Structure 1
Amino acid sequence: MTAKEYLSQAYKIDNDINSKLEQVASLRDLATKATSTISDMPGSPNRNIHKMEDAIVKIIALEDEINSDIHELISLKADITHMIKRVANRAERTILEKRYLCFDTWEQISVDMGYSIQHTFRLHDKALKEIDGFLKVES
């Protein structure tokens, strides 16, 4: 695994969590919709009369997955933080933290640090090479 792949894991888990949160919100909207149709026609014997219960069960299952993902993300971020703290140069550490822990864009990192985007990329590449060295030693 390269340094970039290692550091990018947190972003992917964070995106998974956000996606699942959107799904939960959608299911909550579905579960709270209550429509009634008044008709003298008999109801369909095949219709799902447990629609709300099914939605609640799915919400609970998704929330359990989200909690599991959050625990995984917290653990991974702690590992990544430990790895980043081993980088010698402070500016390089800051770039790695902003990119892989705060998920800032390259433009935002450059503006925040007062560097050109090219210089930010150079520092980032240098830091990744250092992290690659740490990962090779540990494997």
Structure 2
Amino acid sequence: MTAKEYLNRVRRQYYVVKRAEEELTAIKADILSLKASSMTEHVSGTKESDLADKYIRLERYFDTVTAEWDKLIDMRIEAKAMIRTLPDETQQAVLYARYINCGRWEDIAAGMNYSWKHIFRLHGKALQSFAAIHQSALDN
């Protein structure tokens, strides 16, 4: 695996978590609208148990989101430790901004007061340094 592939795993996991959180929010909203509609209807039946079942399923989905968060936190801790071993602090900052904070290139360039071109050059050098230092970990 390359340094970029390794670091992109962290970035992708962030988006997995965000999508799962968005789905969880949508499911909560759907359940709340079901609850509101069931309160206005006075029909006998199993509406209460159906709603309880949905809450149980929501809890299971919440557990899934929590597991994805745990995975992201573990990945970030490992990647941060590896990034900190780079001797150049500017290269560390570029990798941290891109892969840990999931920054966009234009935001990273503006935040560091560099041109895009220079950020890409720094990024390339940072990946080379990262790969040289952590080659054995990347090979596993």
| Fold match by TM threshold 0.5 | yes
Gaps of 5+ in 2: none
Question: Which residue of structure 1 lines up, in the alignment, with residue 56 of structure 2?
Answer: 57
1:37, distance to aligned residue in structure 2 (A): 4.8
| Normalised TM-score (structure 2) | 0.84
CA distance in 2, matches of 1:59, 1:120: 43
Q: In the TM superposition, what whole-angstrom CA distance separates every residue of 1:26-72 from its partner, at most 9, and x where no partner exists?
A: 11112122324568xxx9x9xx7443223212211111111111111
| Normalised TM-score (structure 1) | 0.85
Higher helix share: 2
Percent identity, aligned pairs only, is 24
Question: Within the alignment, does 1:97 sit opposite 2:96 as a pair?
Answer: yes
Question: Which residue of structure 1 lines up, in the alignment, with residue 29 of structure 2?
Answer: 29
CA distance in 1, matches of 2:24, 2:51: 13
CA distance in 2, matches of 1:55, 1:18: 22
Q: Would the aligned equivalents of 1:28 and 1:55 in 2 still touch at CA under 8 Å?
A: no
Q: Would the aligned equivalents of 1:99 and 1:105 in 2 still touch at CA under 8 Å?
A: yes
Question: Which residue of structure 2 lines up, in the alignment, with residue 78 of structure 1?
Answer: 77
Q: What aligned pairs does 1:34-53 form with structure 2 within 5 A after superposition?
A: 34-35=36-37, 36-37=40-41, 49=47, 50-53=49-52
Q: Which has the larger displacement, 96-105 or 52-61?
A: 52-61
Q: Which has the larger displacement, 71-80 or 24-33?
A: 24-33
1:82, distance to aligned residue in structure 2 (A): 0.8
> In the superposition, relative to structure 1, how do residues 66 and 38 fare at CA in structure 2: closer, same or farther (>3 Å)?
closer
Amino acid at match of 1:76: M
Pairwise CA RMSD = 2.0
Q: In the TM superposition, what whole-angstrom CA distance separates every residue of 1:89-129 from its partner, at most 9, and x where no partner exists?
A: 11111001111111111101111111110010001001101
User: Secondary structure of the residue that 1:86 maps to in structure 2?
Assistant: coil
1:7, distance to aligned residue in structure 2 (A): 0.7
Gaps of 5+ in 1: none
